[in-house]
Amino acid sequence: MNRIGTLVVALLLACPALQASAVDDGSFQSSLRQAWSGVQDAFRSRPVAGRPAPLANGAFSFAVFSDLHIGMPSAGPRYTRYAGAEDAATARARSAVARINALAQTENIAYAFILGDLTDSAQPAEFTKAREILDGLRVPWFPLFGNHDVWTYSTDSEAAAPEGDALFAQIFADRFSGVEHPDKTVWNPERRLPVRLQNFELRRDGFVFIALDWNTRKHALPGLKGSLPSGDLHDFAGGTLPWLRERLALLPASTKRVFFLQHHPFRTSPPIPDWEFTFTSAEKSIFRATLAAAPPLDRYYGVFAGHTHVEYHGTAFDEWSSFAQHVPAACKDQPQILLVRVSADGTAKVVPNP
């Protein structure tokens, strides 16, 4: 049924005066106005792509999923040139999108976040296919940058430099309209090359989402292609860590909750070594100190991440028991999503596979 038809049916059902044909005492016009107001309210409350649904009593929810790895073949050698084929990875990504759209009919989903590794090897066709699939989401959505998105390569070629961030920025530029998203090319003195870090922040009625690009731009070990899997604080002018400090200093006193989004988790699941795959102990200590310098600490809920492909729900640090960490399984393996229900007071409940 089209939109006009839906309105007509809603009016007929909602207006007792119409059903009773009571048109001679003024009650018809009054009931009609009431019914029309109710229909308008109902339609305003529906989630629309590109616009978050209004808060329902101050509560809302958001969805996260990660590690699509578009371009990863269902069989045969990995990292071949991708030509846009539909396969198991695209099917699972479409399934996750469909699930979020279904949940949006009953859940007040404000946003969906895709936590990096949209591609398998940062090939332009992989980014394009990921964009096509994610455009199917009927709630506002925001992609994050992952380590597999850093460096373009295939079995027979490799880019001379890690330019995946520029491809990412080009293909998803409009998704960050109206959002704090610096997207500037800056010089990385540690790697001696230009980088385009993909950090962003959005705010919603006292709730803040801060997405951080910790992906190293360091090349993989000799004999391998792409970048290393580890994280990097990018502690230089225009880098991620200084940007985080700036954003924390600007948080309003009225901030209820801050949610961090990133590709790399702080805690890894055995036998994955965190110092090799995510962050060293020193780097994690610097992150905690950065937040401690911008109190109160109880407004920081925790982090949602991907990367390890292993589902995890617990804490990010032994030293900070109230700072949560949630990692969904890789979408390339199973179309898992996490639904996060947030109450008006900032309490958050994570529901895996809702």
Q: In the prediction, which pLDDT does 53 show?
A: 52
With a CB cutoff of 8 Å and minimum separation 6, the contacts of 276 are 229, 230
Task: State what percent of residues in the chain have pLDDT above 90.
Answer: 80
What CA–CA distance (Å, rounded) separates 272 from 278? 9
Locate 17 and state its tokens: 């005066």
Q: In whole angstroms, what is the distance from residue 53 CA to residue 51 CA?
A: 6
Cα separations (Å) of 126 from 50, 133, 175, 266? Answer: 23, 11, 18, 27
Tell me whether residue 37 is exposed, middle or buried, using C-beta atoms within 10 angstroms of its C-beta: 0 to 12, 13 to 18, 19 or more. exposed
CB atoms within 10 A of CB 66: 31
Q: What's the pLDDT band for 291 if we cut at 50, 70, 90? A: very high
pLDDT for position 54: 53
Q: Is the pLDDT of residue 25 over 50?
A: no
154-173 pLDDT, tens digit each: 999 999 999 999 999 999 99
Please state the φ and ψ torsions of residue 114, each to the nearest 5 degrees: -110, 115
Lowest mean pLDDT segment, chosen from 47-61, 64-78, 185-199: 47-61
Q: Rounded mean pLDDT of 280-303?
A: 98
Q: Starting at the earlier edge strand, list the strands of the sheet with 109-114.
A: 141-143, 109-114, 60-65, 338-342, 348-352
Q: Enumerate the β-bridge partners of residue 352.
A: 338
Where is 281: in which H helix or E strand? Answer: helix 281-292
pLDDT value at residue 271 = 87
- State both tokens at 136: 């199917």
Name the average pLDDT for the chain. Answer: 88
Element (H, E) at 164: helix 164-171
Confidence of residue 6 (pLDDT cuts 50, 70, 90): very low
pTM assigned to the model: 0.85
Contact between residue 78 and residue 28 where contact means Cβ atoms under 8 Å apart: no
On the question of a cis peptide bond just before residue 296, with omega within 30 degrees of 0, the verdict is: yes
Q: In this predicted model, which residue has the larger pLDDT, 108 or 10?
A: 108
In this predicted structure, the answer to whether residue 75 has a pLDDT above a threshold of 50 is yes
Distances from the Cα of 40 to the Cα of 4, 14, 36, 253, 337, angstroms? 12, 12, 6, 35, 31
Picking from 40-44, 141-145, 242-246, 338-342, which range would have the lowest pLDDT averaged per residue?
40-44
pLDDT of residue 275: 86
Query: Tens digits of per-residue pLDDT, 116-154?
Result: 999 999 999 999 999 999 999 999 999 999 999 999 999
> pLDDT of 225-277, one tens digit each?
999 999 999 999 999 999 999 999 999 999 999 999 999 999 998 888 998 89
| Per-residue pLDDT at 140 | 98
Helix segments in 25-154, DSSP class H: 27-44, 88-103, 124-134
pLDDT-derived band at 52, boundaries 50, 70, 90: low
